[in-house]
């Protein structure tokens, strides 16, 4: 990310369009993606010093096509092309650039991929990031990341998915995968908070940019809008979420004047607009919960009964025990710690040994006026988290109770 922002933004915007064009011409998604990556790297080195060419899209497409031809001269590539020719879609009307971006997202977030593979592939093929940038964000060597991306592409090829829109039958599940991957990219950036992970914050911005692109193409889809609302409503709290030394500050203790009002207004407007359109899905509900937090002047003045009701709706839609955990917290805040602790008891089987269960129990025991039991639960939670800032927070919490 050394180039000037304008070149960088331009390249990222053009990346999926160029890739779409090359795939239409040559059919081989995996090879085309490599060729476009090479063209992007070449442009990011040349354009900042030599200036942006008059037709940047044409420049990139031409360079990428030339790479494809070079590559296809080799024996191995020829064999791969022959294998692929059989599975290639019959030529039809060429979809527009707009469709290409969506098709690429559907392909990169294919359900056959694990998130650990889909995330870097999406960032590279659709987001236009370089392998080096992605490797740096996830703290692995560039060669390892390059290999991970190329294996992801192999898996897509062997799954037999062509470069086309999912059918109407496939569409809901495929869209769910896309939104899930975008949500995970956002979280990677949002929850990284300290030291060498600082630059991961850029991932949140990238997730918002990509979700915005999806929303521009599927503006009538309520869950796309829900996710796009959820991101700024969450991101708004980022400045208050960590202290000067990177330590975690829980929601109840955050300085709310540091929340970004602009982002809150942006997310709320989107949310209100989409909720008016009918039935609410999980992302809309999460956005609604974030909005209730965001509009409360203090933790005490939060509309906890409403948050409790929203988590109740969410719990009916998803089998995620973390949702039940959050519902228990809302119940405690609305009706007292005992109400929350009772709900936690029912979660022991599904979250046994998970640090969040212990951290939540600790918090509710503290509220209930049992500092000794709370300190013990904070200690258990601290020993079971794999996050450095969380361990510091939980250990400090236990220590504070011990001093009383």
Partner 1 sequence: MKYMLLMNYGGADCAPMTEWAPEEIKEHIAFQQRLGQELTDSGELVDAQGLSAPELARFVKSDGQSPPVVTDGPFPESKELLAGYWVVDVENEERAVEIAAKASAAPGPGGAPIRQTIEVRQVMSVPASEL
Q: How far is the CB of 143 from partner 1 (least distance, A)?
A: 6
**CA 306 to chain CA mean position, Å:** 26
Give the Å distances, CA to CA, from 262 to 232, 237, 255, 301, 399.
9, 11, 16, 21, 38
Closest CB to partner 1 among 284 and 326?
326
Q: Which stretch binds partner 1 (CB under 8 A): 38-46, 59-67, 146-154, 264-272?
A: 146-154
399 touches partner 1 (CB under 8 A): no
Closest CB to partner 1 among 175 and 398?
398
262 touches partner 1 (CB under 8 A): no
Q: Which stretch binds partner 1 (CB under 8 A): 4-12, 110-118, 125-133, 281-289?
A: 110-118
What's the residue count for the chain?
404
Q: How far is the CB of 4 from partner 1 (least distance, A)?
A: 30
> Residues 6 or more apart from 398 whose CB is under 8 A from it?
362, 375, 376, 378, 379, 382
180 touches partner 1 (CB under 8 A): no
Q: How far is the CB of 248 from partner 1 (least distance, A)?
A: 6
Look up residue 229 and give its two tokens. Answer: 């609302």
Cα 4 from Cα 44, distance rounded (Å): 9
Q: How far is the CB of 378 from partner 1 (least distance, A)?
A: 11
197 touches partner 1 (CB under 8 A): yes
Dihedral, 285, 290, 293, 295 alpha carbons, nearest 10: -100
Q: Which stretch binds partner 1 (CB under 8 A): 56-64, 189-197, 260-268, 342-350?
A: 189-197
Look up residue 403 and give its two tokens. Answer: 């001093």
Q: How far is the CB of 217 from partner 1 (least distance, A)?
A: 29
76 touches partner 1 (CB under 8 A): no
193 touches partner 1 (CB under 8 A): yes
Question: 341-370 mask for partner 1 (x: CB under 8 A)?
Answer: ---------------x--x-----------
Give the Å distances, CA to CA, from 329 to 64, 164, 311, 337, 363.
53, 44, 10, 8, 9
Report DSSP state, residue 249. Answer: -
Look up residue 263 and give its two tokens. Answer: 């982002």
Interface residue with partner 1, options 133, 206, 223, 390 (CB under 8 A): 390
Interface residue with partner 1, options 138, 240, 309, 335 (CB under 8 A): 138
Report DSSP state, residue 276. Answer: T
Q: How big is the site for partner 1, counted in residues (CB under 8 A)?
A: 35
Q: Are 368 and 401 in contact (CB under 8 A)?
A: no
Q: Are 100 and 106 in contact (CB under 8 A)?
A: no
Q: Are 122 and 16 in contact (CB under 8 A)?
A: no
Largest CA distance in the chain: 75
Q: Are 278 and 222 in contact (CB under 8 A)?
A: yes
Interface residue with partner 1, options 250, 262, 336, 348 (CB under 8 A): 250
Radius of gyration of the chain (CA): 24
187 touches partner 1 (CB under 8 A): yes
Look up residue 64 and give its two tokens. Answer: 């990428």
Q: How far is the CB of 150 from partner 1 (least distance, A)?
A: 8
Look up residue 86 and give its two tokens. Answer: 């059989």
If one counts every other C-beta atom within 10 angstroms of the C-beta of residue 173, the result is 10
377 touches partner 1 (CB under 8 A): no
Q: How far is the CB of 144 from partner 1 (least distance, A)?
A: 5
Closest CB to partner 1 among 284 and 385?
385
Interface residue with partner 1, options 65, 185, 192, 374 (CB under 8 A): 192
Of residues 226-245, which lie at the interface with partner 1 (CB under 8 A)?
241
251 touches partner 1 (CB under 8 A): yes
274 touches partner 1 (CB under 8 A): no
Q: How far is the CB of 358 from partner 1 (least distance, A)?
A: 12
Closest CB to partner 1 among 22 and 310?
310
Q: Which residues of 148-159 are buried (b: 16+ CB within 10 A; e: fewer)?
A: bbeebbebbbee
The binding site for partner 1 (CB under 8 A) comprises: 114, 116-117, 138-141, 143-149, 151, 187-188, 191-193, 197, 241, 248, 250-251, 356, 359, 385-391, 393
């Amino acid at each position: 990310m050394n180039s000037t922002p304008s070149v960088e933004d331009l390249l990222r915007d053009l990346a999926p369009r160029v890739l779409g064009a090359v795939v239409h011409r040559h059919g081989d998604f995996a090879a085309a993606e490599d060729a476009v990556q090479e063209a992007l790297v070449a442009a990011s080195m040349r354009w900042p010093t030599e200036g942006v060419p008059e037709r940047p899209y044409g420049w990139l497409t031409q360079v990428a096509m030339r790479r494809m031809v070079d590559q296809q001269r080799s024996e191995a590539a020829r064999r791969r092309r022959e294998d692929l020719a059989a599975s290639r879609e019959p030529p039809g009307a060429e979809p527009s650039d707009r469709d290409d971006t969506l098709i690429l997202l559907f392909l990169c977030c294919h359900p056959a991929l694990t998130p650990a593979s889909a995330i870097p592939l999406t960032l590279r093929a659709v987001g236009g990031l370089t392998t080096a940038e992605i490797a740096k964000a996830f703290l692995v060597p560039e060669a390892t990341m390059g290999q991970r991306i190329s294996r992801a592409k192999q898996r897509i090829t062997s799954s037999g998915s062509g470069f086309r829109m999912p059918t109407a039958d496939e569409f809901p599940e495929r869209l769910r995968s896309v939104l899930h991957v975008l949500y995970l990219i956002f979280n990677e950036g949002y929850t990284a908070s300290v030291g060498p992970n600082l630059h991961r914050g850029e991932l949140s911005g990238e997730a918002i940019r990509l979700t915005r692109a999806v929303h521009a193409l599927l503006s009538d889809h309520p869950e796309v809008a829900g996710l796009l609302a959820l991101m700024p409503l969450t991101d708004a709290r980022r400045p208050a979420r960590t202290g000067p030394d990177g330590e975690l500050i829980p929601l109840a203790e955050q300085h709310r004047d540091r929340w970004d009002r602009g982002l809150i207004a942006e997310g709320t407007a989107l949310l209100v607009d989409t909720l008016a359109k009918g039935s609410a899905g999980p992302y809309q509900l999460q956005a609604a919960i974030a909005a209730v937090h965001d509009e409360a002047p203090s933790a005490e003045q939060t509309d906890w009964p409403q948050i409790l009701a929203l988590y109740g709706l969410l719990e009916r839609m998803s089998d995620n025990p973390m949702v039940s955990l959050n519902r228990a917290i809302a119940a405690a805040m609305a009706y007292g710690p005992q109400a929350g602790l009772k709900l936690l008891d029912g979660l022991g089987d599904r979250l046994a040994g998970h640090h969040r269960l212990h951290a939540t129990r600790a918090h509710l025991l503290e509220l209930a006026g049992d500092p000794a039991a709370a300190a013990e639960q904070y200690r258990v939670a601290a020993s079971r988290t794999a996050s450095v800032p969380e361990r510091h927070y939980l250990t400090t919490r236990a220590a504070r109770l011990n001093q009383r």
